[in-house]
Amino acid sequence: MSEAKPVAAWDEDSSQHFIDYGAYFVPERETQIETVCSVIPQPQGSAHIVEICCGEGLLAEALARRFPDATIHALDGSQTMLDSTGAKLSALGARHVTAKMEIAEKGWRRFDEPVHAFVSSLAVHHLDGPGKAQLFKDLAAALAPGGVIVICDLAEAQNEEGRKLWERHWDEGVAERSMELDGNDKMRDFFREDGWNYYTAPDADPVDMPSPLFDQLRWMAEAGLEQVDVHWLRAGHAIFSGRKPA
């Protein structure tokens, strides 16, 4: 297995842009967050839950509410994102940790205690295929027996028809959201102008390297995980998980 390629193109401006427009452009964001939380088995007593690339902290906050005895580790490469997440989790005191990391590096993938759940939303596509396969292996090794890896991410379509369908579904979702939140089409138009829809121009930004969903499920199984399954999919955004044998 080759070493993951380092990723460098995401910067603090990208973080602020994502914070500003995520509410419009992330398909069914509330459903995504609720689904990721629902796939995690309730831990017995205290547990460690690690979020990889936590962004502004919306999922971390939901995890803290859902698992009140767990310690939440929120990791990201952006100080803007870590500051936002730290503020949201500050009430947890010692029950939360925020830390800077580069997703392609391996040093952060070791933990003092076995981890009950690793979760990640819209970030694993910053690794190439071999990088994702290696990530799943490293995380599986750090899991407690019965622990789970839950990934929410963009998938690569397997053919042109699939790509166009996901492109259209994403555009339609943003149009609905723009109307729902603001009562107008401005954010639908900005979404197009901004080039946010990955499926319109998949080669536009080298930082985006989604892999086919089928491959990612296989890499989870090859990492020794069981019960590998898909729980939700909309406009190319999929939530899938696998569990370490108990």
Ligand X SMILES: C[S@@+](CC[C@H](N)C(=O)[O-])C[C@H]1O[C@@H](n2cnc3c(N)ncnc32)[C@H](O)[C@@H]1O
Min dist CB 83 to ligand X, Å, is 11
Min dist CB 52 to ligand X, Å, is 8
Residue sitting closest to ligand X (CB): 55
**Which residues in 155-184 contact ligand X (CB under 6 A)?**
none
Contact predicate 105/52, CB 8 Å? no
CA distance 138 to 112: 14
Q: Which is nearer to ligand X, 209 or 220 (CB)?
A: 209
Among 53, 63, 70, 154, binds ligand X (CB under 6 A): 53
One character per residue 136-155, x = contact with ligand X (rule: CB under 6 A): --------------------
Q: Which is nearer to ligand X, 109 or 245 (CB)?
A: 109
CA distance 149 to 135: 11
Size of the site for ligand X (CB under 6 A): 20
Instruction: Work out whether 191 is an interface residue with ligand X (CB under 6 A).
Output: no
DSSP 232: E
Among 103, 150, 209, 220, binds ligand X (CB under 6 A): 103
Among 36, 40, 63, 81, binds ligand X (CB under 6 A): 81
What residue type is assigned to position 206 of the chain? P
Helix, strand, or coil (residue 153): strand
Among 64, 74, 76, 235, binds ligand X (CB under 6 A): 76
**Which residues in 2-41 contact ligand X (CB under 6 A)?**
7, 10, 15, 18, 22
CA distance 170 to 26: 9
Q: Which residues pair with 154 in a beta bridge?
A: 237
**Which residues in 107-136 contact ligand X (CB under 6 A)?**
121-123, 126
CA distance 34 to 27: 13
Min dist CB 136 to ligand X, Å, is 16
Stretch that binds ligand X, among 98-106, 188-196, 212-220, 228-236 (CB under 6 A): 98-106
Contact predicate 9/207, CB 8 Å? yes
CA distance 105 to 97: 19
Region class of 235: left (phi > 0), else alpha (psi between -120 and 50), else beta: left
Among 55, 131, 210, 242, binds ligand X (CB under 6 A): 55
Question: Residue 221 — φ and ψ, nearest 5°?
Answer: -65, -40
Which among 153, 155, 148 has a CA at the least distance from the CA of 38? 148
